[in-house]
Structure formats: structure tokens, C-alpha cells
Amino acid sequence: MNTELTSEQYDRVMRVLYENQPVETLQSPEELHQFAWNYNWDDGLEAMRQVINHPLCDRGTALLIYWRAGPGFLYEYHTVDELPDDYLFRDEYALVSALEQKYLLNGFASAAIAFDPKKDEGTNWTKEYQETPRNRPIPDEMYQRVTGIQLKRAAI
């Protein structure tokens, strides 16, 4: 199986990343994964919500988004209701909680794209924020890699 985007797919991902085209214009799990992989989180969380809710979102892509959102840091609190009113990461907490719930219920279209939170381009996300006290555990299933095709990250 081809692990790289076609030029047409690449162009679609580029338009969503840099020309404010809607996430809904992405037409494959691979495009969604490349978009999430290359997304600048400083641009806000709405695009990641759209990826997670896209009918073609793959389980590997969901796991990538989950770990890049920093659940180890966010889970200092057990529930979103325990967060202080001025907590800066309230939206991130809600995103990660919703993603986790959907993931645990097998709510993604496929599990065809590989992602290993312990080996993401040299980063072991599962070791991040270990010094932060956790009042909410990260479920064991979130630590498990998704096997499947190993995509090559697009040079974007």
C-alpha cells in the first residue's frame, strides 16, 4: 500500500492547513492523519474536534491527537467540573475527555493507520508530564499502539 499522499491529496491537506479550507474537504483517513500530524495547535482546537468527528477519522489519528493534547498534564483533575473557572486548558480537557470516550467505545471508522504513543518521531508521549499529579488515570488502552500502515510524514 502506498504510504505517501498523492499530489491531489497533498494539495487538499495544504489548503486546509494554510488556506482555511474546511476539514470536511479532506477525503481519506490518510489526509486526516497528515493534517493532524502537521497541525499547529496554536491555531486552536476546533480543527482537531472536526478531525475527531470526521466520519473517516482513523483510530491511529485519534490516538495521535490524544497524546499530542497532553492528557498527562490535563488529568491533574478528575473531571472537567473540578477545573477552576479560570483554568486555561478547559477546552483541551473537554476535547481529550470526549476523544478518550469515543476511542474506548471503538467509535472510529477504522484502525488502519499505525500510531505508537511511545515512538512518535522520537517522542515517548506516555512519559510526558510524569511529574504532574494525576487524579484521573489514563486508561491502559490509550497506551497501546495502533498497528497498520506506517505513513510517511508529508513535508509540509
Backbone φ and ψ for 128, nearest 5 degrees, come out as: -70, 145
At 98, list the grid cell. Answer: 470526549
At 150, list the grid cell. Answer: 506506517
**Mean pLDDT throughout 75-90?**
78
- pLDDT score for 45: 92
34 close to 6: Cβ distance less than 8 angstroms: no
Which of the two residues, 97 and 87, has the higher pLDDT score? 97
C-alpha–C-alpha distance, residues 91 and 97, integer Å: 10
Q: Mean pLDDT of all residues in the chain?
A: 90
Q: What angle do CA 87, 89, 94 make, to 5 degrees?
A: 110
pLDDT in tens, 88-143: 688 888 999 999 999 999 999 899 999 999 999 999 999 988 888 888 899 999 99
